[in-house]
Structure 1
Amino acid sequence: MSMNNKQRWMGGVVLLGGGVLLAALLLKGKEEIYQTQVPTTPVANVQQKEKAAPLESVQLEPLTVDVATEKRLLEEQRRAREKAVAEQEAKAADFLRMQQQAEADAARKAAEEYAAANARRKAAQESSDNIPPELNQDDKTKAQQKTAEQKKLEQQKADAEKKLAEQKRQQNNAEAEKKAAEEKKRKAEADKKKEADRKAEADRKATEEKKRKAQEEEKRKLEADKKKEADRKAEAEKKAEADRKAAEEKKRKAQEDVKKKAEADKARDLLENGDKQWMVQVALAANEANADAVAAKLRAKGYKVTKSPTSKGIRIMVGPSKDRDSADATRKKINSDDSLGMKSAWVIDWVPLDRR
């Protein structure tokens, strides 16, 4: 086998080995992605239980971990999956680059060989007149072999491209599965958030209901206290009114007692002294003005003054006294008071006009 044929075979072997290795790496990456997706989160467990018993009443199970821990675990799983996928993509890119380099080298070598063959063919054709017929036959066989090898190389290249297309398809499938996993994760997170929102709304409503009941209880207590205070005030006012009426009644009875006593004293005085009243006559004024002037002086000294008109003038008197001795003592006091200047006062038994 010539050197050119060996190079072609080596190039085909490199292409075939690179395609097989790239397919193995992609399958391994797919298995790792599947393994990272095997653990079932608590949300998936809840969804599986809901699918297993669709007719039962929905009762939410308490979460084994809090929301923050669940989010952290999901984030770590997502990062691990992304890291594994990135590594597999990097490896696939490296092998794809190596395969493309090998294809480029093989194509370059094939082009060089083709150019060399053309040159040789051209040179052989120029000297064909000096070549025996059997040598021309060998060149024809070599040309056919070279054509067959070129077709074989093109077939290998087509197979490599086919394998590369298959690898791309598998890579696209892996990306689709990754997107499906991310969509599933997003839906699970959305369901979890929805459940958390529902629980938060239920807690908020329960808190509001508790607050409303507390406010109603406080309002009822305030109304009861107000009613109790109003009743106490009404009772106090009723008691005060009763005390006031009792005091007024007591005062009225005392006034009646005083009035009855005064009437009794008056009746007794009438029985003892008749209709007489002992008065001290101080002066006899010619007119009302003079009588008022004298009466004002006497009142200024604290005496009780009575005026009585007569045919001779207006009589000015002090009294009455309970008896003649008292009236006489008052007369002496008035006569001895120099500030009054009334030296001619005398005692009379005077009867009012309405009793005459």
Structure 2
Amino acid sequence: MDTVSTFSWLHISDLHAGMKDASHLWPQIRTQILKDLRRHLVEHGAIDLVVFSGDLTQMAKDEEFAAVLSDLREFWAVFSEYEICPKLVVVPGNHDLTRPAADCSLLMAVENFRKRSSVRDSLIKDDGSEYRKELNAAFSNYEDFIIDLENSEIPLATTSRGIFPGDCAGVMEVNGLRVGIVGLSSAWSHLEQGDFKGKLEFSDLQVSAAVGGDIEKWSYANNFNLLVTHHPKDWLNQDALKDFKNEVSPLGRFDAHLFGHMHELSTRSYGFGGQQVTREYQAASLFGSERDSNGTITRRHGFSIAKIDAERGYLSVWPRKADLISAGGWRVNIDFVELPDGGDVAESPIKLRELAFSSKKKTFRV
């Protein structure tokens, strides 16, 4: 299959490895997902990147992260059948940290992040502060997992780290396209249980630190830029959201924002002057099991695959979900809710960025 000027990614999220009384249910779903992935690879070609947007585990235990690594190896075993080896980008979710004690100083630091500059500076810049020590301790098992990934056969797409555990960035060059990837932790302030929608903190310094300097030069040196977080942006507090929209992800900097947390697949697009400039892709839960107000357990399983075709000037998205079938068991099918016009794929026109601040002058005008 022709792969000239294409770039494809698989977006997964919210595995919740270690979920109570659910581990025996995951193998059937995993088998069906891998079966559907094989079908896609045969019909639509290689996948270049896997995006895992957080909540890998349920309680951030070492054994849960070990189970995640084992599952990822099963994915890469399937990829190897087709002689491909995609890279991986991963960010932590609010279930991927060890919750700190109720009286720890870190909680006070997060609460006063915008009220006291000395507290903010200590949390961001001072590795010797108690705030930083407690933050690093909360994410220590996640960071150990990243080290295990670095020592595994699964290649990471990110090559630099940022100011908070989970912040990362990298650039991929695939089929003549240069793709920038930034992963930012939105979980560093989601340290306790409860409803934190509209309450989370975020620092505008995270994005520049992740890329090691000038985010504008970095972004315009790429044809296409991906931003990955765990939470959607509406989980940030009002001031953090303002910083995020104006300084971290202004229109035109990132072409797609990928996240999870909500357990349901959803796609949104934003534009300016009649032209689409950024898209938001909310991932379904890879393994979601929740109890509603009546005590009934509902399960949701899904993922999506996307592909940029620069020559055609289109971005294609294949939304997938697992359903119970009448004969018994689960099968992965088209998520028709995301495809109101029918078919199995959603296509939209896309214009890739001309390269700037780079010695590489090849561009794609679509």
**Range class of TM-score, shorter chain:** under 0.3
Select the structure of larger CA radius of gyration.
1
Under a length normalisation based on structure 2, what TM-score does the superposition of the two structures give? 0.14
Under a length normalisation based on structure 1, what TM-score does the superposition of the two structures give? 0.14
More strand per residue: 2
Relative contact order higher in (CA < 8 Å, ≥ 6 apart): 2
